[in-house]
Chains A and B, each alone.
Chain A
Amino acid sequence: MKLLTAFIIGSVFGLGIAISGMANPAKVLNFFDIAGSWDPSLLFVMGGALVITAIGYRLVFGQRTAPLFDKGFMVPTSTQIDRYLVVGSAVFGTGWGISGFCPGGAIPALGLGYVEAMQFVGAMIAGIVVGRLINMRFLKPAAA
């Protein structure tokens, strides 16, 4: 049951990404190209997702102390704004601006069957693995 709901929820997420245009690098890059072929559609994606999630979370947290299938809500509790967060996010944004893909856009794009999505996701996984190795060898104990 737990796996069935996770599959269904993942499907809703993936369908939303595909319909929204987030899985289309041309559209994503045009959103960031204010000085050129600007396409403001992604404002509607972010706006719709944010409003629904904000209301949805309020309802969930207001009515329950735990999720249906687990002992408690696993919500990130850290409030520390450190250099990992800021530099990491700047690096992510740079890669997003180069490629037009973010993780949430690229993984559902795999289902569309385009080789570019596979190339991107393969490289992204390599980046995450290398990040982990750097972290474990040279920096703080494994986090995230």
Chain B
Amino acid sequence: MITEFTPYSSLLGGVLIGVAATLLMAFHGRVAGMTGILQGVLPPLSADWQWRAVFLAGAIAAPFVFVNLGGTVDFAVPVATLPLIAGGFVVGIGVYFGSGCTSGHGVCGMARLSPRSIVATLVFMAAAFVTVYVTRHVMGG
């Protein structure tokens, strides 16, 4: 499945993510890592679960409002249900033990030049490239 190259909207989206990460540090003193924020609202709840819950609510509400106001967000899942769910479980295990994901390590940690985050980002990007190569070109998915 071909997707359209969207440099402008992708850059604009990236800038908004960066603005959000900066504001979260300036106001709340926290890194905008989705894995860490989500973990705080899973039982046992962290002591500061309230701001995490409303952050997540905002992150879900904004795309909802955007599309209902007439905005378009392309969406397609070229993966069957079973690998989608298996992938979700694998992602959950991985981000738990790896202490972060694309937003935490890849954006916030790399922006601080954290050696841990640089290593984590290189490793998970490399693993994703290899996985897609294997599933699409070796296994012929």
A residues within 8 Å of B by Cβ?
Answer: 2-27, 29-30, 32-37, 39-42, 44-57, 59-60, 64, 66-70, 72-76, 78-81, 84-114, 116, 119-132, 135, 143-144
Contact of B14 among A16, A86, A112 (CB under 8 A): A16
| Residue from B11, B28, B78, B95 in contact with A48 in the complex, judged by beta carbons closer than 8 Å | B11
B99-138: CB near A (< 8 Å → 1, else 0) gives 1011101111111101110011101111111111101110
* Closest chain B CB from A31 CB (angstroms): 9
CB pair A12–B62 under 8 Å, yes or no, is: yes
Q: Is B99 in contact with A84, judged by CB distance below 8 angstroms?
A: yes
Cβ contacts A to B, 23 pairs, < 8 Å: A5-B27, A11-B61, A13-B21, A13-B58, A24-B73, A25-B78, A26-B75, A27-B74, A37-B1, A40-B5, A41-B6, A44-B7, A52-B19, A57-B21, A69-B29, A84-B99, A85-B119, A91-B98, A93-B123, A97-B135, A108-B63, A120-B84, A123-B85
Give, as a whole number of angstroms, the nearest-CB distance from A32 to chain B. 4
Question: Most chain-A CB neighbours within 10 Å: which of B55, B92, B124?
Answer: B92
- Contact in complex: A116, B63 (CB < 8 Å): no
Which chain B positions have C-beta within 8 A of A22?
13, 102
With A15-B66, A103-B91 already in contact, the answer to whether A49 and B14 are too (CB < 8 A) is: yes
Chain A residue at minimal CB-CB distance from B105: A89
Do B128 and A32 touch across chains, with their CB atoms under 8 A apart?
Answer: yes
Instruction: Output the nearest chain B residue to A64 by Cβ-Cβ distance.
Output: B26
Expressed in whole angstroms, the Cα–Cα distance for A46 and B98 within the complex equals 19
- The interface size of chain B toward A, counting residues with CB under 8 Å, comes to 111
Q: Which residues of chain A have C-beta atoms less than 8 A from B94's C-beta?
A: 88-95, 127
A-B pairs with beta carbons under 8 A, tally: 507
B residues in contact with A109, CB < 8 Å: 63, 75
Cβ proximity bits B1-17 to A, threshold 8 Å, 1 near / 0 not: 11111110111111111
B116 adjacent to A13 (CB under 8 Å):
no
Is B47 close to A, CB under 8 A? Answer: no
Binary interface profile of B, 23-55, with partner A (CB < 8 Å = 1, else 0)? Answer: 111111111101110110010000000111011
What's the Cα separation between A119 and B51 when bound, in Å?
25
Cβ–Cβ contact A95 & B90, under 8 A: yes
Bound together, the chains give a CA A30 to CA B36 distance in angstroms of 27
Write out the residue numbers on chain A whose beta carbons fall within 8 Å of the beta carbon of B67.
Answer: 18, 111-113
Complex Cα–Cα for A76 and B27 (A): 17
Asked whether A67 lies within 8 Å of B26 as measured between CB atoms, the reply is yes
